[in-house]
Structure 1
Amino acid sequence: MSYSKAYYSRMVKAILALDYAQVDFCTGLIEAAWKADKQIFTMGNGGSGSTASHFVCDWNKGVSYTREHRIRAICLNDNVPTLMAYANDVSYASIFEEPLKNFMRPGDLVIGISSSGNSPNVLNAIRWANENGGITLGLVGYDGGQLKPLAQNVLHVAVNDVQLVEDLHLSFGHVTMQRLSGMPAECYVEPGER
């Protein structure tokens, strides 16, 4: 078997092992925040940070474009000078919690993404959001780490492979975007049919 086929075979197994009811529940949390005009915050480190930013790009543009009622999503990773200021002057563990103190209001949705579930800066922000009226969602892999029991809601990709965890976390953003933009669930188009 080729290396790429082996990788994608493992990905298919990971996809089939997902709890689809939980995926739907978590996409529903984003939809509920949007309909209630609540702010949505995303955050993560490394690949999870780029996933957090990708979510916001897709949701702010892909769901909201041409609509009167728009999603209000912010990725806490995207203001690099602010991150660096907190990391330098306070601690790297505070880079997400401190901006939340400026912007989060009770009922807002805070999404922390951590493949290991053990990123201190994500844990601190989720803990603060829990204590201050936020609704929290953790996206985790492996055994879920500390984030799994800390977040009020969890999407767990129970795979011990960081790249597969990141692949499935990213796909959650795409599932959410298609659901919220009104795309039918059965919309597959064969190549050449467009």
Structure 2
Amino acid sequence: MGCRGQLEKYCSRVEDAVSRLPEQFDHIERAIHMVSDCFQEAGKILLIGNGGSAADAQHLAAELVGRFMAERKALPAIALTTDTSILTAVANDYSFDRVFARQIEALGRAGDVLIAISTSGNSRNIIEGVLAAKNVGLKVIGMTGSAGGRLAEVADLCISAPTDETSHIQELHIMIGHMICAQVEELSQ
């Protein structure tokens, strides 16, 4: 199969996953309201993820703090994936499993929302972060692949991208994040 055939096959798999995304619309709508309510109550959004999901966490935090589609006030969001000094100190002094939990213990407050992104739903540092968030009184939105993993069990709300392919899960996560940002932005005006 040539390059064009591979591209068509890839696009077909993405289209299949996107066509099943409406199965998650109720969860996405609940997430929109959780985030919007958090901002209305002067809370903030914390975001965590590993690898590509860390990049997604940073991307979504930037959309909220900057702007997505409309000019509006800045919305408080922090990606806990960006401070290399904290990440390496906690990983060295405790373990990599605690890199998000320690930051959540320091920065999270009751009424805040944690968005935890994990394609497998089983990353130990994500699960430890979620458990720390619940101890502090944060609400937790999980974003996973179709299997959900442990994250689906411990999050208050889980949005599962309807595919098992990591690349497509990540593509859908950013699409879902953009849906949330667009609606939250509209509600915040």
Counterpart check, 1:8 vs 2:11: yes
Question: Within 2, Cα distance between the matches of 1:65 and 1:87?
Answer: 38
Greater length-normalized contact order (CA 8 Å, ≥ 6 residues apart): 2
Q: How does 1:14-25 map to 2 (within 5 A)?
A: 14-18=17-21, 19-25=24-30
Whether 1:40 and 2:37 are equivalent positions in the alignment is no
1:162 and 2:150 aligned: no
Number of positions where the alignment pairs a residue of Structure 1 with one of Structure 2: 182
Residue 63 of structure 1: CA displacement?
Answer: 4.8
Residues in 2 aligned to 1:34 and 1:77: alpha-carbon distance in whole angstroms: 21
Asked if the contact 1:64–1:71 (Cα under 8 Å) also holds between the matched residues in 2, the reply is no
Aligned-pair CA distance for 1:32: 1.5
Which AA in structure 2 matches 1:15?
V
Match of 1:189 in 2: none
- Matched with 1:83 is 87
- Match for residue 183 of structure 2 among 176, 179, 184: 179
- Structure 2 residue matching 1:55: 3-state secondary structure: helix
* Sequence identity percentage: 26
Cα 1:86/1:141, change in 2 over 3 Å: same
Decide which structure has greater helix share.
Answer: 2
Contact 2:90 2:98 in 1 (8 A): yes
Structure 1 gaps of 5+ residues are 184-194
Is structure 2 residue 124 aligned with structure 1 residue 120? Answer: yes
Give the aligned CA root-mean-square deviation in angstroms.
1.8
Q: TM-score if structure 1 supplies the norm length?
A: 0.88
TM-score for the superposition, normalised by structure 2: 0.90
Moved over 4 A (4+): 63-66
Q: Any gaps of 5 or more consecutive residues in structure 2?
A: none
Larger deviation, residues 130-139 vs 24-33: 24-33
The DSSP-based 3-state class of the residue aligned with 2:186 is coil
Instruction: State how far apart, in whole Å, the 1-side matches of 2:77 and 2:172 are.
Output: 20
Aligned-partner Cα distance in 1 for 2:8–2:64: 31
Deviation digits for residues 119-147 of structure 1 (CA, Å, limit 9, x no counterpart): 00000010111122110111011411111
The answer (yes or no) to whether the contact 1:142–1:161 under 8 Å persists in 2 is no
Could you tell me how far 1:14 is from its partner in structure 2?
0.8
Cα distance change on mapping 1:8 and 1:71 into 2, 3 Å: same
CA distance in 2, matches of 1:12, 1:52: 24
Alignment of 1:90-169 (within 5 A): 90-169=94-173
Answer yes or no: is the 8 Å Cα contact 2:41–2:111 preserved in 1: no
